[in-house]
Structure 1
Amino acid sequence: MTSSLSSPVSYVRPAVDAALARFVQEHRARLLEIGAELAPAADALEAMLTGGKRLRPAFCFWGWRGAGGTDVPEIFTAAASLELLQACALIHDDVIDNSDTRRGLPSTHRRIAGLHRDSGWSGAAEEFGRGAAILIGDLCLAWSDEMYQGSGLPAEALAAGRRPFDAMRTEVMAGQYLDTLEQVRDGEAVEAALRVMDYKSAKYTVERPLHLGAALAGRYDDLAPVYTAYGRPLGLAFQLRDDLLGVFGDPERTGKPAGDDLREGKRTVLVAETLARAGAADAAEFRRRLGDPDLSAETIAWMGGLAEDSGALAACERRIDDHVAQATEALESDLIAPEARSALADLIVAATARKF
């Protein structure tokens, strides 16, 4: 494999995709040995692994390379296990949010509910779909651990990697709970939204995969602080951009209907900033509309317009710029191998420069 640092994600993707394909094919066969009825569940799981940006494996790999690791096949397998963790998080997130689509396709619970209806089974299709999706997400979580442990890296390296690997799984589940909690208690504080963002997405997208790469290469202690200084602000910038796309994004690019975050009542930084900056009457109307699953395109346009006119959109863009500057400054550390510094600089752009 030769380096092509102009596209650090593309450099990693073929090997990650190949490792996932091998693992899933083998484990699909095991499922079908249990029963042919499991084929639709396996299909739904595979659909969740198709596409995606592969950012988490990329950050893990370049964290490894920044620590002096080389391009051995085993690191790509270990990094690919993070895509199964991501699939678990997305499947469960869609159930919690009652989302219809993911990456332009039916969400897992909708897909399985459709199977129920098409098959003419008894009971409620939606309940069956949600239950099956939770189990498929659980399977992804179990397979993530199995793929990591079976990656072929030395036992001592895998043991060292358990610290960030386990922390990452705990943090993303805790962040998801905090997100659910903020929605039911109608949280409006920017700091609360930032805490949810940090644990639900930012840390496990960038910081912890970098930590994992460093730990697997035997350099967690000296590189973890450097990777945190780079990874946490970049992870926050990534999720801020994602939240803006959830309101202003083109569905053809995002794979989800425009305004879905508003329909779901997501307590994002953009929402918190809008409620804090808008006039009392507009804020009250925005608050009343937030979380209505039947929001019209016109209402979503009004809510987006208020976010822009109030200065909330500009405030979020400033936060992104500030976080990007912090991440860029952290890359000046000479503890990171020079080639990896170049790739990590390119990943800043890949993670934050997506357009509406």
Structure 2
Amino acid sequence: MITDDERHLADLLDSLRREAPDLAANFAQRFRSDLLGYHGLDDADIVEAVLRAVDGLIAMAREQRPATDDELAGLRGHGELRADQGVPLESVMRSWQIAIREVIRRIGELAESANVPVPVLRVFVDAMLAAMDEAMLEISTGYRAREFRLSRQLDIRRDEFVRALFGGGLTPEESRREMQAFGLTQPRYATFRAVPADRTAEHVDWELRQRPGCRPPYGLTAVLDGDVVGLCTLEQGSLELGTLVVGVGPAVELDEVASSFHIAGRVASTALDFELPGQHTLAELGLLTAVTADPALGKSLSARYCDPLTTDDEMEILRTVDCYLSNGMNAAETATHMFVHHNTVRHRLSRFEELTEVRLRDPHIASQVWWALRYRQLRTMGRSNDQVRSSAG
């Protein structure tokens, strides 16, 4: 049997339902004018969502029950729809707060004329607020789940685009269309390949995307074969990131991007082999890239200039020769750098020339010896140049 209190509450809710279309229309106008993301939605869309939400919350509050499985699915679906429409989650949550606050305010006004006792009204309003909390949680869950799927789809598309762009698998028209879709508007881009050291590729990808030069309109990053690759505009800032090894190709126009990326790969491979963290270009590493690219020549030169020296004293001679070449072939500076007397340096250089039957003052000979020493350095590091990273192309 229905009590007077229940009858009064039912009358109140009937009055509220009759007013709901007008309330929803007012909400639609307010949302479209005040909340980011709603201005592009149709009034009918917003009104329908408000009416459905109010009706559902009233049912849950009146029966003092949690949402059913179908109601939960509907709330999550609402969150997914708003994510698809590009409405920020903050705006979605704010719209619900506005609507429920106004509905509860109107319930209070109607309660006086409907003679609803205050204790009954309080119980109903508390149940309404609890239902709203549950609804907002489900909407947020649906929104974030959809947002994650959309983000993942975008990541996949981005990775596929970068892979095709760097592999030369796109026509100029296709490349321009995709770059426009990703918001890339610069006339020229440098390319890069970053080799993670003590972190995951996904972590590095996220960190680089925080750099202005690596996000649209100045750049784009992607994960490729365990490395982080992309387009960038170096004028917007460095790509230096802790111990990260980054090879950078020259800034080029669209039709030369694949060639630039090949260079970036060579630079990254060289820097990795020589244990040189940081951002590097082909010009900065110079002939080191050639040393890694031509192991046969390095092996031949090492056999000619390094292998004949085998004793500990002769190893010291090689170290002195290396320091001598690095100091502009200046014996005095070499002595200072090595903390030995300059006569010691001269004696070691003379001994090297005797053992190898060459003259270091000959520029051609000096360059060959430098090459041999760099190849030997790689072997000492345990990275044979016969196993240059395949990712460098």
TM-score of the alignment, normalized to the shorter chain, above 0.5: no
Q: TM-score, normalised by structure 2?
A: 0.22
Task: Give TM-score, length-normalised by structure 1.
Answer: 0.24
Q: Which has the larger share of strand? A: 2
Which of the two has greater helix per residue?
Answer: 1
Structure ranking higher on relative contact order (CA contacts 8 Å, 6+ apart): 1
- Higher Cα radius of gyration: 2
